[in-house]
Amino acid sequence: MVKKEEKDSKAALFTIDGKQHGNGAVLMAWQGAGNYLATVGPNRQVQICDRYGQVVDDVSLTAGGQVLALDWDADGETLAVLQQNNSALILWDAVQKKTSMLETNTKDLSWMKWSKTGAELAVGSGKGNLVIYNKRTTRLNPLLGKHSKRITCGNWNDQNQLALGSDDKTISISTNTGEFVRQETVRAEPGEVFLSDAAKGKVTLSAAVGKKSVFIMFIGTNEPPLDLQFVPKYGDVVAHRWAAEDEVLIGFSSGIVIGLSANEKSQGKEVFKKQLFRGGVTGLEVCPSFKKAAVCGENSVRFVDTADWKELPDETIELPTNVSKVKWTEDGNVLSVATADGSVSSYLASMPVLNAANGTAIVFMSSLREVQVKDARDLNKKPLCIGMKSEPSFIALGGQHVGMGVNNLCWFYTRDKSATMVNECEYLASVDHVSMNSTKAAVQYEGSVQLHDIEGDPEGRNTKTFPDTQDDSGVSSAHLTEQFLIYSTVMGSIVYYSLEDGTRPNEYRHVEGIKKIYPSPTGMRLVVVDNNMTGYVYNPVDSTMLEIKNFPHDAENLLWDMKDANVFVVIGKSEATTFRYRPVGLRGQSAEVVPGPSADNKNTKRPSAFSAMVLHGGEVTFQASNGMMQTLTLASHSALARIPEGGSTDEIKFQQAIAIGRLDQAYEIALDLETAEAWAALRMAALESLDVQTAIKVGRQTKDASTVLALQRLVTAEDKNLLAGSIALLLRDYSLAQDLLLASARPVTALEMRCDLMQWDQAMRLAETLAPLQIPHICLQYAEQLQAKGEYEMALERYQKAMQDSVMTGGKTVKVEVSEEHKQQCQSGMARMYVKTGNSVKGMQLASECGEVVCRDCGQILESIKQYTDAALMYEKGGAFDKAAGLYIKLKDFKAAKPLMDKVATPKLHVRYAQAKEKSGQFKEAADAYEKGKDMDSVVRLCLEQLQSPQRAFSIVRETRSYTGASEIVKYCTRNGEIRSAIEFMIIAKDNQEARQLAESHDLMDAFALFLGTEGTQGEYVSMAQYYENKQQFETAAELLEKAGQYQKALKLFLQVGEKALDKAIDLVGSVRNEMLTHTLVDYLMGEHDRIVKDPNYIFRLYMALGNYRQAARTAVIIARQEQEMGNYKVAHKMLFDTYKDLDSQNIPVPRELEDSLMLLHSYVLVKALVKQGDHATGARMLCRVANSISKFPAHIVPILTSTVIECQRAGLKKTSFEYASMLMRPEYRPQIAETYKKKIESIVRKPTKVEEDEPVSSCPYCAEKSPESVLDCPHCNNRIPYCIATGLKMTANDWCVCPSCRFPALHSRFPALIESEKNCPMCEQEVVPSAISKIDDVKELLKKAAKQVDEGKDEKA
């Protein structure tokens, strides 16, 4: 899409007033180069002025009549003037500014025309004669009788052929010497004749005939001539001009203008038609360079675009008077208009397209004597204007200067507001091209390049001309960067010349001559166009030349993008093609076309007048034919520029961003799209470009962890080929990956890849050159793969090759060291393959050497091919005894199978073996085999029928509960009169009714009840209960009723029995947990039935059975206290301990009273063990603890106090010993003191020692504060501290262990010694293995549990 700048309406460059010509028609003629305009009017005053309107010369015509024609020669050096009634021509020399006379000696001259390409001037007369004058030879060639009547019109073509039209109604074609080529007769007088240039061997002749038709003839073809007739309303044909090779524009007196096709397929078809004027067309001229026609009529000039065939109303020129003629300069930049009043106005129809660029800066002509410098990124910014001495023909732009000039002159101006001219240079020939950087200029002329400083080198010491003596051809193209002069030659050389040190760091010779080069801004990339119009990208770093596929063969210009460094556009005659160069990529460097969004918009259509200067971000800044700056967005960037062509969707934006390499922008767009397809395309584009970071970002966005992990290992890769190869491997393009990896610094990676892919064939070929030492290992893996595929012979070959200790590579033998493990694997594989390929003998031999696993494998192979004997042998050697025995049995080789049966674990094999033995009459071996095979019914059968071992059969059936076996035994017992056993096995055989009848008939109901156990029915139990109840056997009847579920009656019978059956009654109530039954039993125990209160132990047992552990605990304490008072300390201790464990197992808090009672009893129990160990101090402390609660030990008050006194005395606790000795001297205790200790105790009382050492202290496990070691309540944190079951002392956090049996705590430093001495735990009385005792380091949870237990125990007590 083209964006245009606003421009002012056309204004006249200059106007020649009508007074200069006189009132009337004016003739005009522009010099070919467009520098001079010659005009003449009725006053016969020929005026020559330059293109700015300055008069150069005036020529007054004194002789002759009105001027009939003005014409310039092909070189623009001579103006010829033809007058009426004058046989001489006036010639004006543009160089000398002088006139001369050319006498033709011919009267009544009527027409004149210079050759378009030669030096000939053709002059026609009223009598049909022709005179040809040669300017170079100054010879006149009169040709009489060319036509029979007046020559009125004519024209030359580029082949120097002359076409003439005459009133004799003929048109002739002659050579430049006047020789006839062809003559055609037309039906009326021709008014205008045109002879086209030769195109494809065809020359077209056209003429307006009789003002009514246009005659067209195609010379050199078989096409018939055209005689185009027009409807009367069109009027007369005023003028016709060729707009293209096969299209003609015709103006009529009616004011209608039409365009006609002369193409063979559409001859006579109107391509344009419009009524431009009401009063008629007065003149018509076509500008080929801009494909535009100027048509005059009435008081205006209108323009028609002959490319698109449409009127251009915005360009209309309005004048105050009627217009008679129009005339273009050859370049189309200036249009002169003559009016009826004799004035001539010249308009700048098109600014000369002259411009240059440097980076994003551009310079262009804004008028004929001014240039402007702008930034292409902001065309609306105020420009830098630089005035010129004269109109230039070339222009250049550098970093600090602007250069312009004409011919061989060049002026250099500063590129700042001062616009000062700093240098003027004159060169040896006309300048073809100028390239500049910040300080230097490279001027190209006549196959040479002159490099010089722009400023500061007036003597030219730093000037250098290329090519120098080292080159063999002329320069075809040259450019300057800040570091290099880069030029190419017509013979194909590319030279980089360093501006810094004057060296040539790079030279390259192409196979063809080079036409043009286009360097990137830095010069590090160079597009080369050779004489075949083939494009290449040249990389001077590695001197590589990459051919550009689909390079346009009509390329006129090329621009590198200033924003996207690797994007360039090639501008052809009709369209621009975008390319993206990828210097580094997965498949190496590449240059690819970047298409537009659709097939119809693949490339960018360019305007007809298009001089491109800068490409920035896909926008081309160009100078249009009117000199204005415009921008054109490339089709490849249309969506990114938000141009609504075909819909700028995000999908199209995304595709274009990827295509031109803007992966960061594509990533942002993909975030909006949020489609799997977009992420996949971006991931692929990033990987193709070796952009690992972008690919990682995509992987993270799509949560592709495996890809991210794989790519992160490549972030630091410096080897381009290794990186590309790794990415190709990731994309599963293994062939490409191999090529790249082989080209990397670590080619062995290619071998590793093939090995990882298990492509061993390719790996073998690579290993031969890259790593010969790996060949045996690869052969081994290859063999295993072939084996898996079933290609056994090839696998055997590879296994054999893998065993070799040398390999051939590169014609040399390389020794290889292989491990024993490798050899073992090879031999194992060979053994298998020998068996697979039929050589079982060798295979079995090898397998025997390789070990059990290989033997088993070979056995399996042999079994699959039905070689059972060999297979069994291999299985046996391989330790697969089950399979070996199975095959031996299958082969009926019982002798071979026999030694294996003890090693067989499969029951079915034993059964099969047993069956074989039974058939052979070996019943004992058969029975043993049946038993190993778990076929116990067969064992029973043999024991009863053959082996006469009924007891063995009985035992088996009692264990297996087999119905079949039991039935066999019933038959046996019935035959042999063993009624009791028959009853038992009838019940096992589920024949209870028969068993009951048999039991009743033989008075064996006790046996029936015993054997029935819990497997009877309710009716059976009730029936038996009645039987025993009738016999007054109430306890047995109650048990049967309990099984029958009749609990109330069962309890009644238990209670009827008395205390003998109380335990069973308690178990019944505990299991049923029926409230009524419970009350019944409690009433009985409390004496409600017989006024006799039963033993409290029964109450305790009842509470325990009912799960009422709290009440049971209270009862246990009461019972334990009773036992304790009676001196049964161990009984009391056991009851309290059992209750404690029951409560703990149910997670029920232990009452504090129970715990204290257990602790007190345990302290007393420990004394004996402590004294035995010689630990009198701890024993004394425990006795003191007991003595402090001596009232709870009424049965042994004096012995306990006596022991306390004695142990305290032994432990050195003299004061404590005295206190308890004094207590023994009380009258109630003194008589009971044993005589052995009486005097000792009296002595202690008489001679008291009231001083003793303080008790040792230890840390509290809760708060770490210290207190006496026998005190269990911490005075600091008030926690109850657990006690040691080995010493009775309090536990410490760093010396903790537990009994493996009862889990009660103990000091780790004391408990093992106690166990070594006593063997059993003092708390639970279970034997403890010392090795099972381990120290516990973290006791937080144990303390937490103990503290919770104590707190809840307090609440329970409360």
pLDDT tens digit sequence for 1200-1230: 888 888 889 888 888 888 888 888 888 888 8
Mean of all residue pLDDT scores within the chain: 85
Q: Is the pLDDT of residue 1073 over 80?
A: no
Containing 1055, the helix (H) or strand (E) segment is helix 1047-1057
Greater confidence (1235 vs 89) lies with 89
For residue 7, the model assigns a pLDDT of 43
DSSP secondary structure letters along 1224-1255:
HTSTTTGGGS-HHHHHHHHHHHHS-----PPP
> Helix and strand tally (H, E) in the chain?
40, 68
For residue 461, the model assigns a pLDDT of 86
Q: How many CA atoms lie within 13 A of 1050 on its CB side?
A: 24
Question: Which residues is 815 bridged to in the sheet?
Answer: 806
Q: Is the pLDDT of residue 1289 over 60?
A: yes
For residue 470, the model assigns a pLDDT of 62
Handedness of CA 1120, 1122, 1123, 1126 (dihedral sign): positive
The pLDDT of 255-277, averaged and rounded, is 90
For residue 1321, the model assigns a pLDDT of 93
The pLDDT of 234-263, averaged and rounded, is 92
Lowest mean pLDDT among 20-24, 106-110, 197-201, 594-598: 197-201
For residue 593, the model assigns a pLDDT of 93
For residue 5, the model assigns a pLDDT of 43
Under the banding of pLDDT at 50, 70 and 90, the label for residue 889 is confident
Under the banding of pLDDT at 50, 70 and 90, the label for residue 644 is very low
pLDDT tens digit sequence for 1326-1356: 999 988 999 998 888 888 888 876 655 555 4
Q: Is the pLDDT of residue 640 over 50?
A: yes
Greater confidence (967 vs 83) lies with 83
**For the chain, the helix, strand and coil percentages under 3-state DSSP, each to the nearest 5:** 35, 25, 35
For residue 798, the model assigns a pLDDT of 84
Lowest mean pLDDT among 20-24, 499-503, 955-959: 955-959
pLDDT tens digit sequence for 10-21: 667 889 998 889
pLDDT tens digit sequence for 991-1014: 777 777 776 777 777 767 767 666
Lowest mean pLDDT among 160-174, 608-622, 970-984, 1289-1303: 970-984
From the CB of residue 481, how many other CB atoms can be counted at a distance below 10 Å? 17
The pLDDT of 633-656, averaged and rounded, is 77
The 3-class secondary structure across 42-92, one letter per residue, is CCCEEEEEECCCCEEEEEECCCCCCEEEEEECCCCCEEEEEECCCCEEEEE
Q: Give residue 393's identity as a one-letter amino acid code.
A: S
pLDDT tens digit sequence for 366-424: 877 888 999 999 988 889 998 887 788 899 999 999 999 999 999 999 999 888 999 99
User: Token pair 């399979």 is at which residue?
Assistant: 883
DSSP state of 1280: B
The pLDDT of 733-762, averaged and rounded, is 86
DSSP secondary structure letters along 792-851:
HHHHHHHHHHHT-SEEEETTEEEE----HHHHHHHHHHHHHHHHHTT-HHHHHHHHHHH-
Question: Which residues is 494 bridged to in the sheet?
Answer: 488, 508
Q: Is the pLDDT of residue 647 over 60?
A: no
From the CB of residue 1109, how many other CB atoms can be counted at a distance below 10 Å? 21
Residues in the chain: 1358
Q: Is the pLDDT of residue 4 over 50?
A: no
Under the banding of pLDDT at 50, 70 and 90, the label for residue 1358 is very low
Per DSSP, the three-state class of 885 is: helix
Handedness of CA 1344, 1350, 1354, 1357 (dihedral sign): positive
For residue 1048, the model assigns a pLDDT of 76
The pLDDT of 705-712, averaged and rounded, is 89
Enumerate residues 6+ apart whose C-beta is below 8 A from 745: 719, 721, 722
Burial of 752 (0-12, 13-18, 19+ CB in 10 A): middle
DSSP secondary structure letters along 774-798:
GHHHHHHHHHHHHHHHT-HHHHHHH
Percent of the chain residues topping a pLDDT of 70: 93
Lowest mean pLDDT among 1072-1076, 1143-1147, 1318-1322: 1072-1076
The pLDDT of 902-912, averaged and rounded, is 76
Burial of 1043 (0-12, 13-18, 19+ CB in 10 A): buried
Enumerate residues 6+ apart whose C-beta is below 8 A from 598: 646
Phi/psi class of residue 309: alpha, beta or left (left: φ > 0; alpha: ψ in -120 to 50)? left
pLDDT tens digit sequence for 1002-1052: 777 776 776 766 666 676 767 777 777 777 777 777 776 767 677 777 767
Percent of the chain residues topping a pLDDT of 90: 41
Under the banding of pLDDT at 50, 70 and 90, the label for residue 1111 is confident
Give per-residue burial for 741-751: e unless 16+ CB within 10 Å, then b. Answer: bbbbeebebbb
User: Dihedrals φ, ψ of 1235, to 5°?
Assistant: -60, -30
| CA dist., res. 247 & res. 254, Å (int) | 21
For residue 319, the model assigns a pLDDT of 92
For residue 199, the model assigns a pLDDT of 64
DSSP secondary structure letters along 494-547:
EEEEETTTS--SEEEE-SS-EEEEEE-TTSSSEEEEETT--EEEEETTTTEEEE
Q: Is the pLDDT of residue 1 over 60?
A: no
| CA dist., res. 728 & res. 749, Å (int) | 13
Task: State both tokens at 1246.
Answer: 């008489």
Q: Is the pLDDT of residue 299 over 70?
A: yes
pLDDT tens digit sequence for 807-822: 777 667 778 778 878 8
The pLDDT of 834-839, averaged and rounded, is 83
For residue 1300, the model assigns a pLDDT of 93
